[in-house]
Structure 1
Amino acid sequence: MSFKHALSALVVAVLPFAAQADEVLKIAASPVPHAEILEFVKPVLKKQGVDLQVKVFTDYVQPNLAVEEKQLDANYFQHKPYLDSFNKDRKTHIVPVADGKVHVEPFGAYSKKIRKIAELRDGATVAIPNDPSNSGRALVLLQKQGLIQLKDPSNILATAKDVTANPKKLVFRELEAAQLPRALDDVDLALINTNYALEAKLVPTKDALFIEGADSPYANFVAARPDNANAPAIKKLVAALHSPEVKKFIQDKYKGAVVPAF
C-alpha cells in the first residue's frame, strides 16, 4: 500500500471517532442546589453526547455577565423577576429557555435572636437582599406576616421606600444576598434566599420562622442568550432536568427546602 493510500485509510478510520466527540455545554450555577442538580444529570447527558461543564459562582451578577459575553453557554440560578431587573439595569439580553423552569426555592425569614415572630421587638433590624427583585420579594413576605404594609402589595420590585405602614418601626438593612446568612449575628431577622440558606447549613423547613408556600411564582430556570436558547444541547439539558429521576432527587435531598416546578 502506498503512503498516500495508507494515509487515506487512516483518515477514514479516525473520522468516525472524531464525529463522536461530545459537544461541550458550559453552564453557570450557584453551588446549592443548582450545581448539585446539574452534577446529578451529567451522566445522563454524557450518554447523549453532551459534556456538561458546570462553572460555580457564589454571586448573582457574574453568571449572567459570563453568558452575555459568550464565556459560557447558559446559566441556572435565577428567577424571572431577577432576570428582568438585571437585563434592564445592565442592558443585557439573557432570556429564559423555553419550558426551562426546574425548581422553586421558598424564600424564608431566619433569626438567631428570636424563636417566633411574635418576639420581634419594636425597632428591630431586618436584613433583606439589596437587589430589586429579591428585596421586593422579602417585603411582600413581610407584609403577608402583617409586619408592614406596602403601597402596592403586588409590586414585586417594591423597596423600603414603598412601605406605607411599619407599626413596629422596623429598620431595614439592605445587603448583598450572599452576605445575609453571615449577618444573622448582627440583625434581629434576615430574609434569605434558600440557596444561600442551604449553603449556610440552615434547614428552611425547620429553621425559618416563616417561609413562602410551594406556590411561589419565583421558579428558577435555565437561561441563555437569544442566539443559542434553542440549541440542541440546551434542549437536552432541560429535558434531563425535567426527568422523574431529577424530581425524586430534589424531593429526597432537599426535603421541601427546594420544590420541583415541573
Structure 2
Amino acid sequence: MKWIKIALLFLLTLSLKADDKIITIGATPVPYAQILEFSKPLFKARGYELKIVEFSDYITPNLALNEGELDANLYQHKAFMEEFNANKGTKLVASTPVVLPPMGVYSKKYTDLKQVPQNAIIAIPNDPTNEGRALELLEQAGLITLSKKANATPLDITQNPKNIQFKELKAAQLPRALGDVDFAVINSNYALGANLMPKDALFLESKDSPFVNHIVVHESQKNSEKTKIINEVIHSKEFKDHILKAYKDILILAI
C-alpha cells in the first residue's frame, strides 16, 4: 500500500511538472489564433508547449482568464479590459502590446461614404468601449458629431444630418449582418474572419489609434515565469518579422 501511494505521488508530481511547461492562451480565431499558431516553435525553443484555446466572443475569454483556466489571452485593447474589470469585478492587466487591428466602416451596398443615404442603418458593436470607438470613427468620417468621445453611445450624438439609425449588435455578429444594413463598423479580427480586408473598408481607423490589442493576464500572474516567456516570444525578432510579412496592410505592429 505504501508503494502504491509513493507511485501515485510520483505520477502526480510528473503531471504537475508537465502542466508547468504548458502555456495556455485564449484568442479569437482570426488573426490571433493564427498568429499564436506560428509562435508555437518559439515557445518550444524556450522549453514550453503552447496550447491555444479559441473563443468566438469577447466575454468568455476574460472570464476564463480570471478563473485561472488560461495563462493569458490575446484579442482586446486596454479600454475594453478596464471596462470589463469595472463591470465584472475581474482582475486583469495588460502585459504587453502586440498589434493594432484597425476598425473600419464596411458596406455591401455602397462604395463610398458620400453615398450614405438619408435614414441609413449602420450596425455598430454593442459593448461600451467598442461602441464608443465605432461612433468616434463615424465622427471622424464626418457623419455625426458627439458630445463626448469615451464610451459614447447614440444618445451622445448631437448632430446627425443624415438621421442615421444605429443597430447595436455583438461584435462577432457584425460581418453576418452586413447584408442586412447599409453599413457596419467592424473590428478587424471579425472582419478578417469574414474575408473582409482593411483595404475593403470605406473608412479606416488611423495608425495613431489608442486601441492596440494586448496580451492580457491575471494581475496575480503579471510577473510569473509564464508571462515572462510569453512577453519574450512576442518581442522576439521572429515574431515581429512574421507579423510584418504575413499581415502587411492588415495589422499594425505595436511592439
Given that residues 22 and 51 in structure 1 are in contact (C-alpha distance below 8 angstroms), is that contact kept between their aligned partners in structure 2?
A: no
> Are 1:123 and 2:119 matched, yes or no?
yes
Query: Where does residue 4 of structure 1 map in the other structure?
Result: none
Q: Secondary structure at the match of 1:215?
A: coil
Q: Which of residues 20, 25, 28 in structure 1 aligns to 2:26?
A: 28
Given that residues 250 and 258 in structure 1 are in contact (C-alpha distance below 8 angstroms), is that contact kept between their aligned partners in structure 2?
A: yes
> Are 1:42 and 2:40 matched, yes or no?
yes
The letter of the residue matching 1:160 is P
> Are 1:141 and 2:137 matched, yes or no?
yes
Given that residues 71 and 226 in structure 2 are in contact (C-alpha distance below 8 angstroms), is that contact kept between their aligned partners in structure 1?
A: no
Alpha-carbon separation, structure 1, partners of 2:188 and 2:150: 18
Identity of paired residues, percent? 45
Give matches, 1:2-151, under 5 Å: 23-97=21-95, 100-151=96-147
Alpha-carbon separation, structure 1, partners of 2:186 and 2:18: 44
Query: Where does residue 174 of structure 1 map in the other structure?
Result: 168
Alpha-carbon separation, structure 1, partners of 2:109 and 2:19: 55
Query: Where does residue 6 of structure 1 map in the other structure?
Result: none
Given that residues 101 and 261 in structure 1 are in contact (C-alpha distance below 8 angstroms), is that contact kept between their aligned partners in structure 2?
A: yes
Which range moved further: 75-84 or 240-249?
240-249
Query: Where does residue 5 of structure 2 map in the other structure?
Result: none
Query: Where does residue 7 of structure 1 map in the other structure?
Result: none
Q: Secondary structure at the match of 1:58?
A: coil
Q: Deviations over 1:208-245 (max 9, x none)?
A: 00101121111111111111121112211111112222
Alpha-carbon separation, structure 2, partners of 1:213 and 1:249: 22
Q: 1:71 to 1:121 in 2, by over 3 A?
A: same
For the aligned residues, what is the CA RMSD? 1.8
Which range moved further: 39-48 or 126-135?
39-48
How many residues align structurally? 243
Alpha-carbon separation, structure 2, partners of 1:209 and 1:257: 15
Which range moved further: 36-45 or 244-253?
244-253
> Are 1:253 and 2:251 matched, yes or no?
no
Q: 1:146 to 1:45 in 2, by over 3 A?
A: same
Q: Which of residues 162, 186, 190 in structure 1 aligns to 2:180?
A: 186
CA shift at 1:19, angstroms?
7.3
Alpha-carbon separation, structure 2, partners of 1:253 and 1:125: 34
CA radius of gyration, larger in: 1
Which range moved further: 118-127 or 223-232?
223-232
Q: Secondary structure at the match of 2:180?
A: coil
CA shift at 1:146, angstroms?
0.9
* Off by >4 Å, runs of 4+ in structure 1: 18-22
Alpha-carbon separation, structure 2, partners of 1:20 and 1:166: 58
User: Scaled by the length of structure 1, what TM-score is found?
Assistant: 0.89
User: Scaled by the length of structure 2, what TM-score is found?
Assistant: 0.91
Q: Deviations over 1:27-60 (max 9, x none)?
A: 1111111111111111111121111111000100
CA shift at 1:131, angstroms?
0.2
